[in-house]
Structure 1
Amino acid sequence: MKARVYVMLKAGVLDPQGEAVRHALGSLGFDGVEGVRQGKVIELDLAEDTTEETVTQMCEKLLANTVIESYRVEME
């Protein structure tokens, strides 16, 4: 079984990496980019009996900093 965890900074939290990407895109001639938010995707290979609740606990304890980040779990 696989799980994907999508982690993004919460709205209102400054994203210096996203801003650097936006600036670089502008320098390369892509003028229509008004904002960039950068996140991460974590892919987990899990035992078949692993529940979404268990993955959520992983996120809460390690995979996401829930003070400044939000996350979404997709199970396959």
Structure 2
Amino acid sequence: MPKCARCGNTFSFGSSGVPPAAPAANGPISGLIANFDKQGYITEMDSLANDLDLVQEAWEMPKEYFDTCYECGSNEIIWN
């Protein structure tokens, strides 16, 4: 399960390697955002204009993709 070392978030994370579809001051931090359950499984994923192969790969290998806390923006993510 992912956990932000800064704020303790264990729910929503983005991918620093996937830029937002339309960068804006109030837009999302990533073009790929996922929500996780308490067991560390993805329950929901938002893919903003991304290739389906990339989305499938992120679903299968979340540790490789979700490295940014959606709550505070930290990249200090701990995976258990």
Give the TM-score normalised by the residue count of structure 2. Answer: 0.24
- Higher CA-based Rg: 1
Give the TM-score normalised by the residue count of structure 1. Answer: 0.24
Q: Name whichever structure is richer in helix by fraction.
A: 1
Q: Looking at both structures, which has the greater relative contact order when contacts are Cα pairs under 8 Å and sequence separation is at least 6?
A: 1
